[in-house]
Amino acid sequence: MQQVIRERCIEPRIGHYANRERIREAIMSRLMGYLIGLHSAYLPFSACKWSLEGPEFVKKDDVFYWAFNFTLKKVPMWESRFEFAEDDIQIRCRFYNTTTEAIDDGHSYKVAAGQLKFDFVVSNWQWNIDKVKAFVDWLNSSPYAQYQIEIPTDKTGLALWVNMASIKLQDLNAAQNEVQNQYQETVEMVSQMQAATINDEYYQVSENRTQSEYERQVQVTSRFRNRTRIQYAKMNTEGNISGFLEFVPWVRLLNEIGEVKYVDVTASYIAAGAHLRLFICYPYFGDSTLEHDPTIGLTSAPTIPELMTQKLLMVLIGATVVIAVAVAAVKLLKKPVNMLAVK
């Protein structure tokens, strides 16, 4: 970033000054004051401390669900510049017993019984681009301002990194390793996932392509404007179950006076070696609160009374810190289980 700003913003302005070295040093010194306050590009959720609220059984009219929420309470020591995010990032989970869910007029969809819906909520986010723009504003008002520089906000955004993997139930200790920041064996390392379908398009994930080619953009066409689905491809091996991740291609923004605005969401993905690396991308939303609601579930699941037990609920809650387990897992010892790791 320092190099880009110097080449594009500073050097063109000082080229004709006789004392350009002194001017350059003065401007770069001012720039460093802004850059020191920037946070890194990646906050690992599995290295953060989270608080759990719930579970609570909720009944609203004819809708029934279990609710439990995670709130980010402490960022890792080596990422102290993300302290502003503490108490301002939530994952609100609802595990439905009935099929229904409406958001707002014109933005509604259904969540089936047996699916886990989780709202990803971000408030009071501090943007690096705002700090860089503060430097540019100072530069534009300086005596060296031969022309005005603008940095459009569409050059930045926020992405939710989700890994989709498929492991055996006896390998769930890999998820516990991630919770405890013990990386000797992670979910991705023991994954047996071979392929996925993205909006019905088959995509192999067995090869690791993260170093060799760019991510692929999810094409949100009119056919998929209500929901975008990424599904674990069904294999011929007996006992495999097919889970999925769905998300709506819009995000809900709430400003400080309660006004609601909807903006488009994009996504990209790439094979990462036995798992799919997915990035759900949100545009710059300033000081608004962002709410997005992906859903995970099975293409076929047992009925809820048969499915939901206290033991399964606690397994589901315990795993949601870094993964969400496909809800039929308790009955499928030694069978593949579809999983998500929110990075």
Residue 335: how many other CB atoms lie within 10 Å: 15
Q: Are residues 22 and 49 in the same domain?
A: no
Q: Last residue of a domain, which of 153, 169, 204?
A: 153
Q: Are residues 220 and 268 in the same domain?
A: yes
Q: Last residue of a domain, which of 106, 137, 153?
A: 153
Q: Are residues 31 and 174 in the same domain?
A: no
Q: Are residues 20 and 50 in the same domain?
A: no
pLDDT of 71 reads: 93
Residue 290 to residues 3, 7, 166, 213, 269: CA-CA distances in angstroms?
31, 34, 29, 30, 22
Helix (H) or strand (E) holding 305: helix 304-307
Q: Are residues 7 and 69 in the same domain?
A: no
173/183 Cα distance (integer angstroms): 11
Q: Are residues 174 and 120 in the same domain?
A: yes
pLDDT of 301 reads: 54
Q: Are residues 140 and 63 in the same domain?
A: no
pLDDT of 89 reads: 94
Q: Are residues 104 and 215 in the same domain?
A: yes
188-208 pLDDT, tens digit each: 787 888 888 887 788 888 888
According to DSSP, residue 146 is labeled S
pTM over 0.85: no
Q: Are residues 6 and 110 in the same domain?
A: no
Q: Are residues 222 and 252 in the same domain?
A: yes
List the beta strands (DSSP E) in 84-242. 89-96, 116-122, 157-168, 195-198, 201-204, 216-217, 228-232
- Positions of the chain with pLDDT under 50: 221-224, 236-237, 303-306, 321-335, 337-341
Q: Are residues 298 and 192 in the same domain?
A: yes
Length of the chain: 343
Q: Are residues 138 and 200 in the same domain?
A: no
Helix (H) or strand (E) holding 37: none
pLDDT of 318 reads: 54
pLDDT of 174 reads: 65
pLDDT of 15 reads: 62
Domain that holds residue 244: 45-124+156-342
Q: Last residue of a domain, which of 153, 169, 194?
A: 153
Domain count, the chain: 2
